[in-house]
Amino acid sequence: MHAVNTIGTTILGYPRIGPARELKRALEAYWAGTGTEEELQTTARRLRAQTWTTLRDQGLDSIPSSTFSLYDQVLDTTALFGALPERFTRLGLSPLDTYFAAARGVPDAPALEMTKWFDTNYHYLVPKLGPDSRFALTGTAPIDEVREARALGIIPRPVLVGPVTFLLLAKATEPGFSPLELLDELLPAYAELLGKLAAEGVEWVQLDEPAFAADRTNQEFNALTRAYHWLAKEKHRPKLLVAGYFGSLGRALGILARSPIEAVAVDLVTDASFVDKVAAEGALRDKEVLAGVVDGRNVWRTDPGVALARAARLKATSAHVSVSTSCSLLHVPYDVEAETDLNPRLKNWLAFARQKVDEVVLLGRALHGENVDLSPARAAVADRASAAELNDADVRARVAALRPEDTVRTPYAERAAAQQKSLNLPPLPTTTIGSFPQTGEVRRARAAHRAGKLDDTAYRDAMRTEIERVVRLQENLGLDVLVHGEPERNDMVQYFAEQLTGFAATTLGWVQSYGSRCVRPPILFGDVSRPKPMTVEWAQYAQSRTDRPVKGMLTGPVTILAWSFVRDDQPLADTARQVALAVRDEVSDLEAAGIRIVQVDEPALRELLPLHTADREAYFDWAVPAFRLATSGVAETTQIHTHMCYSEFGDVLPAIDALDADVTSIEAARSKMEVLADLNEAGFARAVGPGVYDIHSPRVPDQTELTSLVRTALGAVPAERLWINPDCGLKTRGYAEVEPALRHLVGAARELRAEP
């Protein structure tokens, strides 16, 4: 039982793509013109109704609304407050098509920039704001949703991106301007919405302020203070719940405590020590506290003992405590019961969104003294903790025997000379990032093989045919360092997870990455090892078809962890070392098979960067050695490449240098090579391949444009250290774009080589 007017047990958000990815299908049909707006909206309404009624039937006290989105919740907020850039609003499209134009771009108006949502693999669309930006409540979506829910007999709790986080996520349209300056402009629009929601009978509204899980300036803390004093002074408003998640709140905790809001949601999972801070000061004495004790981002069943102990600590010091998730469940799949192929014992250790809601309900009752049966949960957690098969003695012995010299290569300058002698590459060598377009034929062959309709030999032949074709193409184009093209890979993490011990794959475990795009992260549940080579036969075959060097292609340990659900029963550093050793074995086998260049991709290095700067050193302390462990077991003549697909390195720059890779390829085309200056400033003195061709766009750059980009790059990096390559892998593009683009790329390199 919960006291009248409290929120009670709840979750901060829920998946929305649909248990069978119904929203993805409806969106893609609408975009392709094969489905109508009405069909899309019907699917959307049905998914919302399904979610609300399920949550109610499972017994949550408070049901969130507006956790649904047709594309992204930040874009929803931008549109709701009439802050879409004019390039979209002047197109004269319907509201829905204007929204999708901002999300996906149209020929005359490139899409808004997209970037990762804090330290997750979810991407949001970055609002662009300037001194002239104005806000007005132009949308009705949250109100419409309340009416929809009310029709089902549910008074929901609308969830909105909080005003301060919204402005902190925005980028300025001009230098020297901080979107936070717009706070006073924005607050009246929020207040108007709150008033309208109150008029609809809404009792509580949740405002998400995850930006305060990162370090913030005084000015930003002041904005938080201002915002909630201002919003709370409205008379006709719902009660306000402010949610901080993805870590502890730091100084924002005190600010929220002193603000005249009614409730605060705290993440008690990410930082286990945060509960002490909340309890110690009695910080939230007068507020209802939502104790986020069920992990919203990982898939393990909650230990009821640990969760209840944390929540109970706050009971003594807060007005009312309810159980919740640590963050929105957007980041986990829908339902573990749908996984019919999972090992039953492993399955019993897992909780996806649906199971997490059950956990919240059960823990909430237990917290308030109801007699509930926690024994199945206790037994599952105990079973996992005692499962001997998770631990592989050989793997543990190998990790324990590691010495510091296992992560050290000969000095870069010596290596670089030895490699140049052995590889004999021209100045400004050209290469690609690994994947080539995945044709329908390739996808069909993979699917048929998986379904058992194509036997191993026929499958191998199909892949070899494709590899041969891609090798010939690269030779004809005149590229210097070739790749096999990755036709055998469904995904750059899943491909490896399927071949390593300690990982399990799901069949329906989709998680939204952005818009209609979903990923299916593998589950890393036990000790990791590599029973046999994973990529060697393909690389070796490619190398056998050409005299030019073929670059082997692997995913790095940090990225494998970042894009999996990782065991939480040992430090990430320990798991990283195991994965690194598996990759190291693969690197060695590639080398032994005659591959002289190996690329180990780490596009997620920045994603795992802790939000609090104080935690970053500890992160680099394991992440950098993990990469080095994976890549340092080779001769000095073997060249190690790495690849990162983002251009704003900021705080990871020193780490990139410390990775000690011989060649680093990075995204740079959109930023017009600006990143090179940052690299120089950070003292980076290794070879670098700034992407000159933006593969995220269907546009084919002409040779003049590429020559000019390379010339810009040459202003920052000497020719001996400069590589010419696209921004990222080519798998999402078509050959009609890729062939001319690569021809121009090679042409640009040749043109510049010929210059005196």
Binding-site residues for Zn(2+): 643, 645, 667, 728
Q: Where are the beta strands (DSSP E) in 43-87?
A: 64-65
Q: Which residue sits closest to ligand GLN, CB atoms considered? A: 729
**Closest separation in Å from C-beta 433 to Zn ion:** 6
696 is catalytic: yes
* Buried b / exposed e along 667-702 (16+ C-beta atoms within 10 A): bbbebebebbebbeeeebebbbbbbbbbbbbeebbe
Q: Are 605 and 656 a contacting pair, CB within 8 Å? A: yes
Handedness of CA 621, 623, 627, 630 (dihedral sign): positive
CA-closest candidate to residue 51, choices 8, 22, 83, 72: 22
**Closest separation in Å from C-beta 319 to ligand GLN:** 47
Binding partner at 731 among Zn ion, ligand GLN, none, C-beta below 5 to 8 Å by kind: ligand GLN
Any long-range contacts for 693-696 (C-beta under 8 Å, 24+ apart)?
Answer: 693/669, 693/725, 693/726, 693/727, 693/741, 693/742, 693/744, 693/745, 694/669, 694/670, 694/726, 694/727, 695/726, 695/727, 695/728, 695/729, 695/730, 695/732, 695/733, 696/670, 696/727, 696/728
**Closest separation in Å from C-beta 685 to Zn ion:** 23
**Closest separation in Å from C-beta 71 to ligand GLN:** 21
Toward Zn ion, which CB reaches closer, 8 or 603? Answer: 603
In one letter, which amino acid is 366?
A
State the Cα–Cα distance between residues 601 and 554, nearest whole angstrom.
Answer: 6
Binding partner at 429 among ligand GLN, Zn ion, none, C-beta below 5 to 8 Å by kind: none
State the Cα–Cα distance between residues 579 and 581, nearest whole angstrom.
Answer: 5
**Closest separation in Å from C-beta 79 to ligand GLN:** 29
Toward Zn ion, which CB reaches closer, 269 or 645? Answer: 645
Toward ligand GLN, which CB reaches closer, 435 or 543? Answer: 435
Indicate left, alpha or beta for 475 from its phi (over 0: left) and psi (-120 to 50: alpha).
alpha
**Closest separation in Å from C-beta 438 to ligand GLN:** 9
Binding site for L-methionine: what residues are annotated?
433-435, 486, 601
For 213, 270, 307, the CA distances from 297, given in Å and listed in that order, are 15, 9, 15
Exposure of 362 by Cβ count < 10 A (0-12 exposed, 13-18 middle, 19+ buried)? Answer: buried
**Closest separation in Å from C-beta 466 to ligand GLN:** 15
Binding partner at 318 among ligand GLN, Zn ion, none, C-beta below 5 to 8 Å by kind: none
Task: Give 312's Cβ-side CA count (13 Å radius).
Answer: 12
Toward ligand GLN, which CB reaches closer, 19 or 729? Answer: 729
Toward ligand GLN, which CB reaches closer, 527 or 607? Answer: 607
Q: Are 736 and 701 a contacting pair, CB within 8 Å? A: no
Other beta carbons within 10 angstroms of residue 216's beta carbon come to 18
Length of the chain: 756
DSSP per residue over 437-476, as a string? ---HHHHHHHHHHHTTSS-HHHHHHHHHHHHHHHHHHHHH
Binding site: what residues are annotated?
21-24, 116, 433-435, 486, 517-518, 563, 601, 607, 643, 645, 667, 728
**Closest separation in Å from C-beta 651 to ligand GLN:** 20
Toward ligand GLN, which CB reaches closer, 534 or 553? Answer: 553
**Closest separation in Å from C-beta 689 to ligand GLN:** 12
CA-closest candidate to residue 150, choices 194, 190, 191, 203: 203
Binding partner at 333 among Zn ion, ligand GLN, none, C-beta below 5 to 8 Å by kind: none
Binding site for 5-methyltetrahydropteroyltri-L-glutamate: what residues are annotated?
21-24, 116, 517-518, 563, 607
CA-closest candidate to residue 627, choices 663, 682, 581, 667: 581
Binding partner at 435 among Zn ion, ligand GLN, none, C-beta below 5 to 8 Å by kind: ligand GLN
**Closest separation in Å from C-beta 426 to Zn ion:** 24
Toward ligand GLN, which CB reaches closer, 19 or 603? Answer: 603
Alpha helices in 640-691 (DSSP H): 653-658, 674-681
Exposure of 707 by Cβ count < 10 A (0-12 exposed, 13-18 middle, 19+ buried)? Answer: buried
SS (H, E, C) 97-121: HHHHHHHHCECCECCCCEEECCCCC
State the Cα–Cα distance between residues 75 and 87, nearest whole angstrom.
Answer: 15
Name the one residue in this structure whose structure tokens are 């929020």: 190
Which residues in this chain contact ligand GLN in the complex, by CB under 6 A? 433-435, 486, 492, 553, 601, 603, 643, 645, 728-729, 731
Toward Zn ion, which CB reaches closer, 296 or 603? Answer: 603
Binding partner at 44 among Zn ion, ligand GLN, none, C-beta below 5 to 8 Å by kind: none
Task: Give 710's Cβ-side CA count (13 Å radius).
Answer: 31
Q: Which residues pair with 598 in a beta bridge?
A: 552, 640
Catalytic site residue from 123, 229, 696, 744: 696
Alpha helices in 608-702 (DSSP H): 616-631, 653-658, 674-681
Toward Zn ion, which CB reaches closer, 577 or 731? Answer: 731
Exposure of 386 by Cβ count < 10 A (0-12 exposed, 13-18 middle, 19+ buried)? Answer: exposed
Toward ligand GLN, which CB reaches closer, 365 or 484? Answer: 484
Residues 6 or more apart whose CB falls under 8 angstroms from that of 5 comprise 203, 239
Binding partner at 553 among ligand GLN, Zn ion, none, C-beta below 5 to 8 Å by kind: ligand GLN
Binding partner at 123 among ligand GLN, Zn ion, none, C-beta below 5 to 8 Å by kind: none
Toward ligand GLN, which CB reaches closer, 301 or 520? Answer: 520
Q: Are 641 and 661 a contacting pair, CB within 8 Å? A: yes
Q: Which residue sits closest to Zn ion, CB atoms considered? A: 645
Binding site for L-homocysteine: what residues are annotated?
433-435, 486, 601
Which residues in this chain contact Zn ion in the complex, by CB under 5 A? 603, 645, 728
**Closest separation in Å from C-beta 419 to ligand GLN:** 20
State the Cα–Cα distance between residues 186 and 193, nearest whole angstrom.
Answer: 11
Which residues form the catalytic set? 696
